[in-house]
Amino acid sequence: MAGSRNVVMGRPREFDIDEALERAMQMFWERGYEGVSLTDLTKAMGITKPSLYAAFGDKKELFRKALERYTEGPADYGTRALEEPTARGVVEAILRGAVQTTTPPGGPSGCLGVQVALASSEAGRPAHDMLVEWRNASALRLEERFQRAVDEGDLPRDADPRRLARYVMTVTFGIAVQAASGLGRDELQEIADTALECWLPNGVRRTHPGSAPPPAYG
């Protein structure tokens, strides 16, 4: 019995975890968090519900892993953009990446983060909360990059890194919403180009010393 039990427990999974997670990511990207059931997910992933629970946990944890895959895959343009030598280069890379990622040939339009964030019922709360943290973390990294640009003299000393980060994030997510609504890549690129034309003609000023800090993103 013991030998038989070890064989069963040691049996390798009969599916490719990376491939299954990729399919789950695509499902969440296309339909949002509330728009897919466990049955939809297991069917798309080609696995059973017990296998899903064993490999990924519940739906919430599966979404968390799918979001990590999205961040490290289609949305990694945001991380790579921070390596650009100038603040303008950072913004240009982010907006260009947003346009390209939200209009993939043959893939879901829009952004996984935006698609899921549009959910408003209590059932979508776990994913909503994850995405608030996800957006805030992205905005903070961008703010820190702009602060470095101020310190290095690449941006005016009176530029406000937080306001700049919020502006860029807002345009980026706006591009995603427009892409999901059917706007094409050329039209979205025009939006990105317009934002770049408005980039810091005289700097974005710091908030008044006595003003309240901006609210959290999301």
pLDDT value at position 113? 84
Question: Does an H or E element contain 1, and which?
Answer: none
> What distance in Å separates the CA atoms of residue 208 and residue 218, rounded to the nearest whole number?
23
Q: How far is CA 139 from CA 46, 56, 119, 185, in A?
A: 36, 28, 21, 24
Does residue 132 contact residue 180 with C-beta atoms inside 8 Å? no
Residues in the chain: 218
Could you report the average pLDDT of every consecutive run of 10 residues in the chain (218 residues)?
A: 41 75 93 91 93 92 95 94 96 96 89 76 81 92 97 94 95 94 94 89 42 38
192 by Cβ neighbours in 10 Å (0-12 / 13-18 / 19+) ranks as buried
Concatenating the DSSP letter of every residue in 133-150 gives: HHHHHHHHHHHHHHHHHH
Spatial distance between the Cα atoms of 161 and 138, rounded to a whole number of angstroms: 13
Question: Cα(75)–Cα(58) distance, rounded to whole angstroms?
Answer: 24
Using CA atoms, how far apart are residues 33 and 125, in angstroms rounded to an integer?
Answer: 10
Is residue 120 helix, strand or coil? coil
- Residue 200: what pLDDT? 66
Helix or strand or coil: residue 202?
coil
What is the reported pLDDT for 118? 67
Give me the pLDDT at residue 16, please.
Answer: 87
